[in-house]
């Protein structure tokens, strides 16, 4: 499950219980979050994890040291039912190649008998920043390449987040192999495209926080799965939206959440019996 929580914008204190209610209803094994606030040792992810029984990890705050201690931090997060290991916060670049304030958070977690690598990221948001998002998407692919183990036998890398770009954009087409990417033998499967129903817009005109938005009804949030992978392990089995309806009169966020079920088994193909010669 991936969800942009809209930081501390709007009625953020009233939205927090609504967010928790949606997560509790969906019961994801792993939850990737964007626009997570932190302040004085607390965070939206930490509160959610404590309330619902998750482990959690945050990116570093890219603005730390540039604003007062009383200003809340801005993070991506990963929550899991199981402990998180190998947690790394990866800076994403500016157009000139220097590190920017966007991040990709990676961690490993064991669900059942399998250890999965998960990435939570959030690309730049301006309509005219496609070139910047493309540079960030390239770096995300490099991060995935550095994290994946044997793509023929091990679970794929699951990449979740708010990419601030629709499926036909240059940056998403780069990720999904519709354009030549920077790394041979690596593309990402778009779970919603594989098994979702309908347009899957996560930035929606029926959200009251979007009444004045310039360009609603766009699919900006994704659960990607790296390819190649040992079929059908990691194949999307189902995808749906959550968090679109009010909870006790409060809409949880300005984005809808995306929830995906992934296949957690490897197909075993039996080889023909060895021929017997005489």
Residue 71 is predicted with a pLDDT of 87
Write the pLDDT tens digit of every residue in 3-47.
Answer: 999 999 999 999 999 999 999 999 999 999 999 999 999 999 999
- Each domain of the chain, given as residue ranges in start order, spans 2-262
Write the pLDDT tens digit of every residue in 118-144.
Answer: 999 999 999 999 999 999 999 999 999
Interval 266-275 mean pLDDT = 46
CATH of domain 2-262: 3.60.10.10
pTM more than 0.85: yes
- Residue 32 · residue 76 · CB < 8 Å: yes
Both tokens assigned to 87: 């947690």
Ramachandran area for residue 194 (φ above 0: left; ψ -120 to 50: alpha; else beta): alpha
Interval 163-188 mean pLDDT = 98
Q: 198 or 269: whose pLDDT is higher?
A: 198
pLDDT band with cut points at 50, 70 and 90 for residue 278: very low
Residues whose CB is less than 8 angstroms from the CB of residue 119 and which lie 6 or more positions away in sequence, other chains included: 32, 104, 105, 106, 140, 143, 144, 147, 157, 158, 159, 160, 161
Interval 253-259 mean pLDDT = 99
Residue 68 is predicted with a pLDDT of 57
Q: What percent of the chain clears pLDDT 90, i.e. is strictly above it? A: 89
Residue 265 is predicted with a pLDDT of 87
DSSP letter for each residue of 205-228: TTSGGGTT-SS-SB--EEEEEEES
| Beta strand pairing call for 30-39 and 42-43 | antiparallel
């Amino acid at each position: 499950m991936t969800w942009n929580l809209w930081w501390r914008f709007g009625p953020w204190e009233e939205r927090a219980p609504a967010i928790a209610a949606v997560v509790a209803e969906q019961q994801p094994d792993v939850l990737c979050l964007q626009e997570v606030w932190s302040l004085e040792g607390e965070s939206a992810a930490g509160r959610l994890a404590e309330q619902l029984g998750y482990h959690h990890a945050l990116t570093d705050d890219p603005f730390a040291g540039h604003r007062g201690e009383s200003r809340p931090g801005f993070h991506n997060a990963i929550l899991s039912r199981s402990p998180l290991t190998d947690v790394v916060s990866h800076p994403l670049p500016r157009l000139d190649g220097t590190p920017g304030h966007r991040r990709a958070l990676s961690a490993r977690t064991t669900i059942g008998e399998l250890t999965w690598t998960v990435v939570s990221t959030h690309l730049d948001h301006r309509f005219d920043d496609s070139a910047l998002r493309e540079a960030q998407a390239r770096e995300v692919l490099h991060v995935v390449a550095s994290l994946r183990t044997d793509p023929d036998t091990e679970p794929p890398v699951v990449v979740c987040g708010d990419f601030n770009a629709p499926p036909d954009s240059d940056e998403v087409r780069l990720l999904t192999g519709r354009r030549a990417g920077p790394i041979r033998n690596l593309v990402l499967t778009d779970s919603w495209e594989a098994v979702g129903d309908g347009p899957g817009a996560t930035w929606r005109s029926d959200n009251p926080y979007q009444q004045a938005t310039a360009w609603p009804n766009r699919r900006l949030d994704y659960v990607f799965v790296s390819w190649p992978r040992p079929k059908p392990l990691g194949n999307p089995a189902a995808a749906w939206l959550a968090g679109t309806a009010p909870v006790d009169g409060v809409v949880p966020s300005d984005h809808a959440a995306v929830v995906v079920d992934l296949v957690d088994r490897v197909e075993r193909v039996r080889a023909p019996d060895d021929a017997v010669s005489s």
